[in-house]
Amino acid sequence: MTHLAGIHIKDSLESYADDVLMRTLLMQSQMDNTANALLVTKSMVQSKVTTTDDESEHELDHFAAKAETVISHARSAKVVLGKAARALQELRTRSLSLTTDTITIFERCEKDASDLALYSRRLGQDVYELLHEESRTEPCHVHEVQTAMFKTAASVFSTAESDSFATIGSKLRALTDALADLSSLTSDLDRTAEFERSPAPWVLRAKELQASKVVSIDTEEELRRLRDEAFERATTLRLRDQALDEAAVKIELLESRTREAAKKSDRIAELERGVQDGRTREAQLSSALEKHLQGLKDLETDRDRWRRIANERKGAEDNISGDAQDDASSRGGVSARELIALENEVKCLQACVRYLREERQRGSLSDEVLNSRPADASSKPRNKLAKPPIWLSAPITPSTKPPESALEPHKILAQLTNVAAAPKLIVLPPLTQPEERLSWKPARCTPQWQLYREEERTKAWAEAWDLGRLMDSEIPTSWQGMPVGIAS
């Protein structure tokens, strides 16, 4: 550091300007420390020292007042030094400096400021040791603090004090007057001189290195070529990055399209399966339709054949009575299945008749057969081995009149036709006034009664249909059809 200071810090106006500015800032810091140290000392004495009588309390108040006065003087000196420091900084920025013959006032003020700062530190330290002594049990008094202050002033200033802060107060006043002169000196342009500001050492070193650097033409060409090559490579890398980004976008687009194509292929496969199932179903329905059509053709053939037979019989049976002709014509319109069913019923009836005949021959006739005997034989005693009536042994001969069972389907069909062709509607009465609506009316005139009546008749007709006894004689003559709704 000494070597560097010897090289770079020289005896010049610029160095002198820096020196006096540094001294001013140092004195300002010392005055600030002095004021703070005295303030702490005063607070410590006021908090630790006890007063036993009025005299000691008066001495403590006198000590606080003197300390406050010294602190205000120190702060005033600090303010004056701050003003002088700002003036010196302004001169330095304008490349101006005080003349070198003003160094004596700065040195004298600096010595006084350093002595005051040293006294304030020593005073605070001695008072602290006095007030915080560990072996002390008795309270501390003001005169003991004053004695410690006198000893501190004698050790620092080599003077004997008779009152608190007497020496430091006089020195602060003298320093404040000297600082006022110093502040006026910094504002006097007649005591200043201009200097040339030298560049910083590192700037000089950089210029020296730049001047000593010799670059040949070949080297410059090589550097230019390398720069161009680096720029081209950077451009190529940017283009490659851009191509990679575009490729990544294309890959994502292709992946999304691939997923969509996979979904579409799955949907197409599902639709193809549905089409195949539909075709299979169509083939099945086509075969079933062909079977039904073939059955329909067979039924039409049977119908034509039986119609032809009926026509032939109609021509051959012109002498038959009107009832027989009607029955024959009705039988001619019946299908082959119905004829087969009727033949089976006839066979069953014939078997029943044979069974009853055999039972009668064995002597186990019913009461109905026994009651059919002549009236003149009722008075004779009954004989289990009596000869059966002649009508039981008579052979069964086919009747020219068609059986009643053959006419029953036609009657049922006529009833169903009447039900569908002649419905009986319930007519609602027109809207009337509220007074007429609440007046008395017969129950038979209300639509509700008619509806319930038709429901009862419908249930009766359904029960007759379930029992197989739906004949003209079993249905009321006043009712010829089913109700199909309510007419408004």
Beta strands in 132-256 (DSSP E): 192-194
Say what the pTM is: 0.41
Identify the three-state secondary structure at position 487.
strand
Alpha-carbon distance of 81 to 20, in angstroms, equals 12
Q: Is 212 left (phi over 0), alpha (psi -120 to 50) or beta?
A: alpha
Q: Do residues 150 and 160 make contact, with C-beta atoms less than 8 angstroms apart?
A: yes
Residue 459 and residue 279: Cα distance in Å, rounded?
A: 48
DSSP 3-state helix, strand, coil percentages of the chain (rounded to 5)? 75, 0, 25
Q: Where are the chain's structural domains? A: 2-200, 214-328, 335-402, 404-488
Evaluate whether 78 touches 24 at the Cβ level (below 8 Å): no
d(CA 73, CA 166): 13
| Residues near 59 by beta carbon (within 8 Å), at least 6 away in sequence | 142, 143, 146
**Scanning the structure block, which residue is given the tokens 């070198």?**
100
Q: Which residue has the tokens 């053709």?
A: 297
Q: Taking Cα atoms as reference points, which of 63, 62, 36, 37 lies closest to residue 128?
A: 37
In order along its 488 residues, the chain shows pLDDT tens digits of 676 666 666 677 888 888 888 999 999 999 999 999 989 988 888 888 777 777 778 888 888 888 898 899 899 999 999 999 999 888 888 888 888 888 888 889 999 899 899 998 988 888 888 888 777 777 777 788 888 888 888 888 887 777 778 888 888 888 888 888 888 888 888 888 887 777 777 788 888 877 776 666 777 888 889 999 999 999 999 999 999 999 999 999 999 999 999 999 999 999 999 999 999 999 998 898 898 888 888 888 888 888 888 788 777 665 554 554 455 444 444 456 777 888 888 888 888 878 777 777 776 444 444 454 444 444 444 444 445 555 555 555 555 555 555 556 666 667 666 665 555 666 666 666 666 666 777 777 777 888 888 888 778 777 776 665 544 444 444 444 444 344 43
